[in-house]
Amino acid sequence: MIDKVYSYVVIGMITGDHFIEDLRLRVPYRTPVPITDNDFLSSKDLNRAIQQKYVKVVAQASIPSPAPTGNNPILERRIGELQNALKESEKAREVLEQKIDNQGGQLAAILAAIEKIPERTVVVAGKGNGAFKSEVVGGDAPMFIPENIPLGDRARINMHESEGEADLEEAARKLRELRKRQGGG
């Protein structure tokens, strides 16, 4: 079987499609459609479409591509440079993947250490106004912490962690004294 040789290209010049009946060929707008020498020379409908400027026919130019030769030093040097760059990029990719794996391990270790931190629970108990009071304070962060807590410029609060019972009346007396010192009277 002999392959058809397409020597011409038909290009649609009107929007939509133009149908060339004797070739049974649909030519879309601005889309090249190849045809043979014989079809170009024998088609009356194609000739009529060309005259009415529905289609345009362009001869295909066959330009032979240069055959690659083995002794082109510029091309061989460029190929070598590209191959070296490819090897370097592969090495860099492997290094980055190792760093990402190491960071993933470090992150897992940090998360495991955070989960091992025990949550502190404080029980505050005392007597006040003749009644025994008890309150459990968990280790969760408060919902709201004000940005500025007004303590005055002369106040100093020392807190010590200890276990034992505290008297709420004594704590209230110390708080009143602290407020008197801050207020100046």
Of the candidates 29, 30, 39, 31, the one whose C-alpha atom is nearest the C-alpha of residue 8 is 39
The arithmetic mean of pLDDT across residues 64-75, rounded, is 64
Tokens representing residue 64 in the block: 């032979």
Residues in the chain: 185
Report which DSSP code applies to 21: G
The model's pLDDT over 82-102, given as tens digits with 9 standing for 90+, comes to 888 888 988 888 888 888 888
The whole-number pLDDT of residue 26 equals: 93
Read off the pLDDT of residues 154-176 as tens digits, 9 standing for 90 and up: 555 555 555 556 677 787 888 88
Cα→Cα distances 122→60, 134, 141, Å: 90, 10, 13
Neighbours of 118 (CB within 10 A): 6
Residue pointed to by tokens 């470090």: 106
Contacts (Cβ under 8 Å, ≥6 apart) of 40: 7, 8, 46, 57
Give phi and psi for 84, each to the nearest 5: -65, -40
Distance CA 10, CA 146 (A): 78
pLDDT band at 109 (very low <50, low <70, confident <90, very high): confident
Consecutive H or E run containing 89: helix 73-116
Instruction: Look at residue 77 and tell me whether its pLDDT is greater than 50.
Output: yes
Check whether 64 has a pLDDT greater than 50. no
* First-last CA distance in the chain: 116
In the chain, what are the domain boundaries? 6-59, 77-117, 119-140+164-185
Residue 15 has pLDDT above 70, yes or no: yes
Residue 171 tokens read as: 């704590």
Question: DSSP states of 25-76 as a string?
Answer: EEEEBT-EEEEEHHHHHH-HHHHHHHHTTSEEEEEPP--PPPPP-S--HHHH
Q: At residue 93, what is the residue type?
A: R
Rounded to the nearest integer, the mean pLDDT of the chain is 75
